[in-house]
Structure 1
Amino acid sequence: MLTFLHILLTGLFGALWDGVTAFSLGAYGGVRVVNGDHCSGIVEVNLLEQWGTVCDHGWDLRAANVVCMELGCGFAESTSHNAEFGLGSGVIALNSVQCTGHESSLIHCGLSLNKNSLCSHENVASVKCTGLLFQPRLSLLSPQSVFSSGESVRFYCNIMQLNRVSDVHLYKHEIATPLVTQRADPTQIRVDLTLSDVETFYQGSYSCQYSVTGGFPSQRISSPPSNFINITVVDLLTPQLWYNTSPEAPLGSVVKGQSFNITCSTLQHYPGGSFQLRLVRSNGTVRQSLPALSHAVTFTFPDAQSSNEGYYYCLYRVQLGGRTFVSRESQPLPIAVRDPDPVLSPMVISWLVSGVTFVVAVIIIFIVAKVVCNKEKKPSELERETRTCKFPCPSQGCMIFPRKPPVYVSSKQACFCYRCGQHLCCCIS
């Protein structure tokens, strides 16, 4: 018994010494599995450029996890004993392995070389790994990839059936944190990932990944990223509207017969867009459109008429990805068409009329005064004939011609004249 223990301890210390020496010389060449698939089978390690098996003394899920991670096969589902994958062959390279489960490679675990060991090919270590997580496939529920601001975008992420709960994530390109995460049931192979109330920030390329948790100790592994899908988010802002015309036109109006321009402008410009100008007037609505070659477009009206009077509205329209997007209409722009002002203003005309009236009145007064003066200075023929009063006069058959004022022959006589036949008779009053 003592001899057996002596041999065992001697072999153990010798193995540890040999292991330290071999690994310090860079003798470790990696790990592989045989007699199974690329992620399950008998474990073999490469030491000193020679492949050998590992004795299953102390072999557990921690060590199996390290092997699976080193192989890129996920994590260990189970460890196998009693030659589940057949008998080992060749040399038995390691007698035992001690791992915590967090090592990135088997070289970082506690290893002992197989020297004077009682391990046989029936007691070799083997492992079953979850295997590689296959690349998922991302698709859009909508046939179009262009969306309007405020809409929802639904993606589908197709994953492999893992028979375990997994988390499915939606990533935007160059953003490390997932925008959407959904829990998938063990039998679920397609997961709905929805972006709600999208804005222009969400425009870009998207991919999905899924991750599973397992192993001992528990750890999470993720699949490769899926294919990328690009989406466009259109946010059409309300356009601005203004007009230009001759400077003499009053605010909010244009002069009839003159030209005026109406300009529509927006901050965001998309290829293939157009501006639509809508005129609302009392007898109907008139629309006209121009292609948006830049951020603004100008509608020209060379000859303003009453038909151009009304309320103008502007909107921006664009077709992208098989869809038509229309902005809100601008605020109304009222425009009135007025007749041109006369050559002389009303005030000038009033002054002219007043002046002409004054001149005419002065002329009339002058003429009347002149006539009156002439009458007083030059008596008529009647006055000359009646300077001497003749009497008596017949009192019948005569027409009375009163003189107003009476013709005075002297300061004490006044005559009134009568016509009697062909004779003129005057009497003293």
Structure 2
Amino acid sequence: MLRIFQLIFLLGSLHVQLNGVGAFDGPHIRLLDGDNECSGRVEVLRHNQWGTVCDHGWDLREADVVCLDLGCGLAESALHGAAYGQGSGEIWLRHVQCSGHEASLMRCATVLHSDPHCTHLNDAGVKCSGTLLMPSLSLLSPHAVFVAGEAVRFSCTVLLGHHLSDFHLYKQGVSTPLVTQRVDQSQTRVELTLTDLETFHQGSYSCVYRIRGSSPSQLLASPPSNSINITVVELLTPQHWYNTSTEAPVGSVIKGQGFNITCVTKQQYPGASFQLRLSRSNGTVRQSLPALTPAVTFTFSSAQSSNEGYYYCLYRVQLGGRTFISRESQPLPIAVRDPDPVLSPMVISWLVSGLTFVVALIIIIIVAKVLCQREEKPSELERETRTCVDNTYVALSINKI
């Protein structure tokens, strides 16, 4: 029962100041005699007359409401004792109590049973930031280099969290936010995650928060935070081909002759390299060359049996402490063939036949010369023999032709 009476007493001590709210369609609050338009003595308009606010219970919660209402950011200080000079006329509000989330001082509660003794020596004042505080952006992901398809996580933080509506993640050069996260009014930190990264997402990022102004439809945007750069790596599958002598059949090289394999990619990164992998029956052999240009050639001066197998090209790059390797290219089969013999069997057969004919011809000529050099008159047998030799010589000559 005691708690019920305490609750009734508490509710009776607070009174929501709603009288005359509908009359404030125009400006209903202003700051006077300050250093700029966002500092000064607080005055409110009531019954078409400007009056001041008593500083009883005046703190940063009430000052924040004033600053936000005027589009002056957040309160840096809530001032007491007519710090910006004494006003004149009525003291319209005494002992205002705001939660900090109201759209206007006129929406705040006032304590009815407080000390009513206020003079213009108690006029309240505020000093506003002029603009909203800059948020801070940090990278939650353990690295700043990503491969396409991964996600990056940021954290956006603001020191003071009043009237917060949402946080936005912006990429430099893009006018619309890539990520938006709504928050509770008092939440000062939010995680912003960008998923399914593409090369388009590479660049510089900053975050912005928005707060609610004097009306639910009025949103004030903070200045952008610090910037964070991310890199998105997209490694394309390399292409490859090989070159060798024209005598070699397709898909093969001739043993002892030179050949080369060229790897090429359309996407290039600094410090990258090409790796050529040879898969053969007795294991795998790898070699690499720096990718100073989009195409790199691996040269083999003398093809051996150990060069036979399936060749694959890969593209490899190290960025931001991470190693990225592309998919392997399609297999390139290469066989090593022995060279063809210098003399084919047909050529050898022709050479043997020709050599036999020459030897036979030489023998016949020698025999003929010996017979012709005899000093005696040739007998009838010798003449016949010589005639036979001559005829044979002629016949052999005709056959040669």
TM bin, normalised by shorter chain, reads 0.5 to 0.7
1:342-371 deviations in whole A, cap 9, x for unaligned? 223455557778x68x99xxxxxxxxxxxx
Task: Name the amino acid aligned to 1:182.
Answer: Q
Query: In the TM superposition, what is the alpha-carbon distance from 1:248 to its structure 2 partner?
Result: 1.0
User: Quick one: which amino acid aligns to residue 296 of structure 1?
Assistant: A
Q: How does 1:34-183 map to 2 (within 5 A)?
A: 39=38, 41-43=40-42, 56-58=46-48, 72-74=71-73, 86=82, 89=85, 132-183=131-182
- The residue number in structure 2 matching 1:235 is 234
Corresponding position of 1:209: 208
Distance 1:72 1:187, change over 3 A: closer
Residue identity opposite 2:295 in structure 1: A
8 A Cα contact 1:88 1:122, kept in partner: no
CA deviations 1:290-327 (Å, max 9, x no partner) are 11111111111001011100000110111111111110
What is the deviation of 1:268?
1.2
Give the secondary-structure state (helix, strand or coil) at the position aligned to 1:225: coil
Consecutive unaligned residues in structure 2, runs of 5 or more: 1-29, 51-62, 90-118, 358-401
* Structure 1 unpaired stretches of 5+: 1-30, 44-52, 77-82, 94-119, 360-429
What whole-Å deviation, never above 9, does each CA across 1:29-56 have from its counterpart, x for those lacking one? Answer: xx7445899856524xxxxxxxxx8875
Equivalent in the alignment of 1:295:
294
Partner Cα distance (2:162, 2:218) in 1: 17
What is the match of residue 279 of structure 1? 278
Instruction: Verify the 8 A CA contact 1:88 1:121 in the aligned structure 2.
Output: no
Q: 1:140 to 1:344 in 2, by over 3 A?
A: same
Query: Which has the greater radius of gyration?
Result: 1
SS of residue matched to 2:324? strand
CA contact (8 A) 1:138 1:227 kept: yes
Distance of 2:139 and 2:45 partners within structure 1:
51
Q: CA RMSD in A?
A: 4.3
- Whether contact under 8 Å (1:313, 1:332) holds in the other structure is yes
Q: Which residue of 1 aligns with 2:12?
A: none
Partner of 1:7: none
SS at match of 2:343: coil
Deviations 1:98-133 (A, max 9, x none): xxxxxxxxxxxxxxxxxxxxxx96998978979742
Q: Distance in 2 between matches of 1:123 and 1:141?
A: 48
The residue type equivalent to 1:265 in the other structure is: V
Which residue matches 1:269? Answer: 268
Contact 1:264 1:298 (8 Å CA) reproduced: yes
Partner Cα separation in structure 2 for residue 274 and residue 263 of structure 1: 13
Q: Relative to 1, partners in 2 of residues 1:294 and 1:88: Cα closer, same or farther, differing over 3 Å?
A: closer
The answer to whether the 8 A contact 1:145-1:232 is kept is yes
Contact 1:87/1:121 (<8 A) preserved = no
After superposition, give the CA deviation of every residue in 1:382-429 in whole Å (9 maximum; x if it has no partner). Answer: xxxxxxxxxxxxxxxxxxxxxxxxxxxxxxxxxxxxxxxxxxxxxxxx
Aligned to 1:250: 249
| Contact 1:139 1:156 (C-alpha < 8 Å) held by counterparts | yes
Question: Normalized against structure 2, the TM-score is what?
Answer: 0.61
Total equivalences in the alignment = 290
Match for residue 186 of structure 1?
Answer: 185
Residue 84 and residue 56 in structure 1: after superposition, are their counterparts in 2 closer, same or farther (change >3 A)?
Answer: farther
Give 2:279's aligned amino acid.
V
Deviations 1:179-220 (A, max 9, x none): 000011233221111111101000000000000223147411
Indicate conservation of the 8 Å contact 2:162/2:211, yes or no: no
Give 3-state SS (helix, strand or coil) of 2:306's partner: helix
SS of 1:262's equivalent in the other structure is strand
Rounded Cα–Cα distance in structure 2 between residues aligned with 1:90 and 1:154: 52
Aligned to 2:197: 198
Q: Report the Cα offset of residue 89 of structure 1.
A: 5.0
1:212, 1:331 → 2: CA distance? 55
Residue identity opposite 2:322 in structure 1 = R
